Structure 1
Amino acid sequence: MAISITSLNNVMTQGEDPALALQHQGRTVYLINSRLSQGNPVSNANLAVVVMIAQYERLRGRFLESLVHLDGLYSMAEMRGGIARLIRDEPSLGQKIARETGAALQKEY
């Protein structure tokens, strides 16, 4: 939802993030962290959401924040056996993670 709001906001005004988008992102990060801290396994949905949050931050030009989420994504992928295993077992998700990581590394900080 935050990505959709940001995209619409960029088309409409090029302004700051609406409060609603920030609330959704904060709640999403809280929920994922809560699930992981309770020992729940890393789900495909959790991985996909963190990819989207990293993309969202990159779209907003907040590259360092994007890297924070990519670091978390890497840790989550390691909990599932690593990115290579994800690419083998869940090809579309694993490749998406690899592409997002590559896109982030192409940006000069």
Structure 2
Amino acid sequence: KEVFLKKRPGRGIWGGLWSFVECDDNAEAIDLAIRQHNDSAKIIRRLSKFKHTFTHFNLWINPILVDSPGGLANYYDAGSLALGTPAPVKKILQEL
């Protein structure tokens, strides 16, 4: 399976690491993020929501699998990924 990852800015949380596209957890924001990525993309299914704890806050992550036909740039083989990724991304990849 291939996954789309984008490199985060050098500063901030997970600076310089590769991560999934993020958006607010509501239908409108999710639909907008999908359309901005690929107008032909469609939701396949939702994975289990989970909590990732930092030293100073909790982050709730609600991963959604999307089929994005025709995508080429920034797609990587999930089984042999060699990019630096945050712990929650690794956890999601293990579920695939």
TM superposition score normalised by structure 1: 0.30
Larger Rg: 1
Q: As a proportion of its length, which structure holds more helix?
A: 1
Answer 1 or 2: higher relative contact order, Cα 8 Å, separation at least 6.
Answer: 2
